[in-house]
Amino acid sequence: QAELGKPQRNCYTLPGFDFSYGLYIHRTDGGVPEAIGHWNTGKPRTASVQKMPRDFITMNRGALKAGHTTAREFNLYYKAKDIRRKDDEYSRFKRSPPKVPADFTYGITARPCTPFFDLLQHKYKELWMEQQRALTAAQRAEKKKVIKEKVRETRTTFLRKQPLPAKEESFWHLPRLEKV
């Protein structure tokens, strides 16, 4: 029961000073003397020989040179000549690495810091306004040039360039309209 007139405790009592925290493993845990005395080292693993993946590009080229065209012939060629990709040790990049200067740094260069003085003076707004003014002035000048160059075509000038085709007179009439 809770003590009278005192708030109820919401925690557990801790064990005594002789208690050790953690998990004790009987066979391997010998404490500090065991750790100081010798090191438990793992045995090195032997490198397993890894089978390189197939080089399908070379095999396909060889199959085509041999005159195979169907999928069945290709599969038979793959079984007959199993060409594997070469190890990376023999790659062109490892044999002759690219020649770069000694002070060359890989990656993207950092962005230059924003000039706060230009921000406070509204310099970017002024540059944008100048660009817009130059753009509108160029558009106006182009529009005036187009208006001056363009000549209005009337029907007369159009007919001079392309006259109407002459009407062909038809000599055939309906028989009932012959006497009219």
pLDDT at site 39: 67
pLDDT at site 103: 84
pLDDT at site 45: 74
For 97, the token pair is 């690495």
Q: How far is CA 75 from CA 60, 71, 72, 84, 94, in A?
A: 10, 6, 5, 15, 33
pLDDT at site 18: 83
User: Using CA atoms in the order 148, 149, 151, 152, what is the torsion angle rounded to 10 degrees?
Assistant: -60
Q: How far apart are CA 55 and CA 82, in angstroms?
A: 8
Q: How far apart are CA 139 and CA 146, in angstroms?
A: 11
CA terminus-to-terminus distance, the chain: 135
Q: How far apart are CA 106 and CA 104, in angstroms?
A: 7
pLDDT at site 49: 66
Q: Does the pTM exceed 0.85?
A: no
For 73, the token pair is 């012939």
pLDDT at site 60: 93
Pick the closest to residue 87 from 45, 47, 51 (CA basis): 51
How does the average pLDDT of the chain come out, rounded? 81
Q: How far is CA 88 from CA 15, 53, 80, 138, 143, in A?
A: 59, 12, 25, 59, 64
pLDDT at site 116: 84
pLDDT at site 121: 87
Dihedral of CA 86/87/92/98: which sign? positive
Q: Which residue in the block uniquely carries the two structure tokens 């363009």?
A: 150
pLDDT at site 90: 60
Residues of the chain with pLDDT under 70: 1-2, 24-31, 38-41, 47-49, 88-95, 97, 149-150, 180
Pick the closest to residue 59 from 47, 49, 46, 68 (CA basis): 68
